[in-house]
Structures are given as structure tokens and as C-alpha cells.
Amino acid sequence: MDYEIVDRIPDVETFAHLRAVSGLSPRSRAGMEKGLPNSLYAVLVLHEDRPIGMGRIIGDGGTAYQITDIAVDPAHQGKGLGKAIMAELTGWLEREAPKDAYVSLIADGDARHLYQKFGFDPVMPASIGMARVMRNLS
């Protein structure tokens, strides 16, 4: 396999690039600079020493965790890299998270099929995922 998965938080440039090329929404530089160092765990997928994929876990480290920012450069999609990222993230959670911890994620489109392979189930109808993007309204 031409790919290597490393335990590493992406730097701001890598994070912004991978979000952009994979179709995820942009984040502010200030937000990335503040948030990325607070990741509980993160992985990068490297191809020829260049980051082409990533995934992170955020949360309080005890009761609540969220898998987020899973992204793979489209030139490398369809090769099982999303599955490999999820395997690394869920492996870390199985080793580190307390047994009663709540782990959530937001599944975009068909990604739900991948996440279901790792034990994630839809929460509807008992719950519904909700979000608010903070915007300067002035």
C-alpha cells in the first residue's frame, strides 16, 4: 500500500486544504488555530509523505466525544482510506474512552453506510441532530 496512517493533528494549512478539496465547508483561520490543538486524537493519511486524508476526535475526554473532519482527497478516494481512518479513530476510542462515553458524528449522504460498519446507528426518531453555524450578523 502506498499509504501510511500517522497519529498527528493536521496543521492549519493541511486541514484547510483537505476540507476544501473534499468538499467540506471552510473554517476561519482563527478557529482552526484555536481548535486544532485541542483535538483529543487525530490521524493523517500520507501518500509519498504528503497528507491526503485526515480524521479527528474532539470532546471532553470523558463523557462526550465526536468524530469529525473525515476527509480524503478525491484523487485518492475509493481505496478504502475512509474506512482506514475510521478504524484508527474507533480503535483509539475503544482503548481510551470510558465504557459509558457517548460518541457522536454527523453522517453526510452515503457516508452513513461506512459509519454503520463501525457500530454507529441513526438516532432518529428518539433524537435529531441539530447544528448552528456561528455568523457575524452585523
First to last CA, the chain: 50
CB contact at 8 A, 68 and 56:
yes
Q: Provide the domain count of the chain.
A: 1
| Residue 123 forms part of a structural domain | no
Question: Which CATH number covers residue 84?
Answer: 3.40.630.30
CB contact at 8 A, 79 and 85:
no
The domain in which residue 60 lies consists of 3-116
pLDDT single digits (tens) 36-64: 999 999 999 999 999 999 999 999 999 99
Q: Tell how many helices (H) and how many strands (E) occur in the chain.
A: 4, 5
pTM tops 0.85:
yes
Residue 42's Cβ-count burial label (10 Å; 0-12, 13-18, 19+) is buried
Tell me the C-alpha distance between 78 and 76, whole Å: 7
Q: What is the mean pLDDT of the chain?
A: 95
